[in-house]
């Protein structure tokens, strides 16, 4: 495991504070606020620490306030129900006594049942694509100095976008995006860790799908963008240190909000997880 990946794994390894309370550190990725995927991944880890013999199969969360990446985050887990097959947990994330995220997670015992899935869409092989870090190095000389470190930094999640948008010269295009994801280096055989890492990664490049038809990006002037909510469903086992295709579309944007959907496929074509997110995409003219 590379050191940059080990730091992310450590970030998800929360400190128990007693009475189903946990504390996690924050990381600065160069964004104004805490990266939403970090709070989601830590919240799922906190809930998982209160469940035995069951893996998370769904998560639904609302972002309530921007997080401060210079402060730790406190996670309170509420044990809503433990049934014969399912367990439900509610998680509240706080900083400085204020709620920044609230969510519910459901866990299930391993079970056999009916099987079907959508076919995996066509996509270029990840070995034929450049990484986001490669594109960042190409863009770095053309952006303000304070943005360069964010573009070229080492990343624990390697992302290889298909047909990437030039954030400096965006043009309208269909509301559809694809990227290949995997962690840098081998990971332990812990299915909870892999699900928390996918949760963390699922927030990267997601809301931008709703921006595609409008020819704007997060770097465009007078844009206010933020994730409002986020949901994930885990369908099948997977590994985050193997390539996963993140296939995304945005069926609708209206009222200053953009709706996004995503599916994760492994290289064998298995649908392993699905996501949805609504985001604020407000243009202040």
94-113 pLDDT tens trace: 999 999 999 999 999 999 99
Cα(160)–Cα(179) distance, integer angstroms: 5
Q: What is the pTM of this model?
A: 0.95
Nearest to 181 by CA among 156, 208, 210: 156
Over residues 147-179, the pLDDT tens digits come to: 777 777 788 999 999 999 888 888 999 999 999
Q: Where are the domains of the chain?
A: 3-283
Task: Give the C-alpha separation, 171 to 268, whole Å.
Answer: 33
Domain 3-283: which CATH number of 2.40.160.210, 1.10.10.10, 2.60.120.10, 3.40.1010.10: 2.40.160.210
SS3 label, residue 112: coil
* Other Cβ atoms within 10 Å of 263 Cβ, number: 21
pLDDT tens profile 214-224: 999 887 888 89
Q: Which residues are catalytic?
A: 203, 227, 277
Residue 283 has pLDDT above 90, yes or no: no
């Amino acid at each position: 495991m590379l050191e940059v990946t080990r730091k992310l794994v450590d970030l998800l390894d929360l400190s128990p504070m007693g009475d189903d309370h946990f504390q996690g550190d924050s990381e600065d990725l160069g964004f104004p606020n805490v990266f939403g995927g970090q709070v989601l991944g830590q919240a799922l880890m906190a809930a998982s620490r209160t469940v035995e013999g069951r893996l998370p199969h769904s998560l639904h969360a609302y972002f309530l306030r921007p997080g401060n990446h210079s402060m730790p985050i406190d996670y309170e887990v509420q044990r809503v129900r433990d049934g014969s097959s399912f367990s439900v947990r509610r998680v509240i994330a706080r900083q400085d006594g204020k709620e920044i995220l609230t969510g519910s997670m459901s866990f299930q015992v391993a079970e056999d049942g009916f099987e079907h899935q959508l076919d995996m869409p066509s996509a270029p092989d990840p070995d034929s694509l450049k990484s986001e870090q490669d594109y960042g190095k190409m863009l770095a000389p053309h952006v303000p100095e304070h943005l360069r470190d964010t573009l070229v930094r080492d990343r624990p999640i390697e992302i290889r976008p298909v047909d990437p948008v030039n954030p400096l010269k965006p043009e309208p295009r269909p509301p559809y995006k694809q990227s290949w994801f995997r962690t840098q280096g081998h990971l332990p055989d812990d299915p909870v860790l892999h699900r928390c890492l996918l949760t963390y990664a699922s927030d990267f490049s997601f809301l931008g799908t709703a921006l595609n038809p409008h020819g704007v990006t997060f770097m465009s002037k007078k844009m206010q963008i933020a994730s409002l909510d986020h949901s994930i469903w885990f369908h099948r086992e997977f590994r985050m240190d193997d390539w996963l295709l993140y296939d995304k579309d945005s069926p609708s944007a209206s009222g200053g909000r953009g709706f996004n959907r995503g599916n994760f496929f492994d290289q064998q074509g298995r649908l392993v997880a699905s996501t949805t997110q609504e985001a604020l995409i407000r243009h202040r003219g």
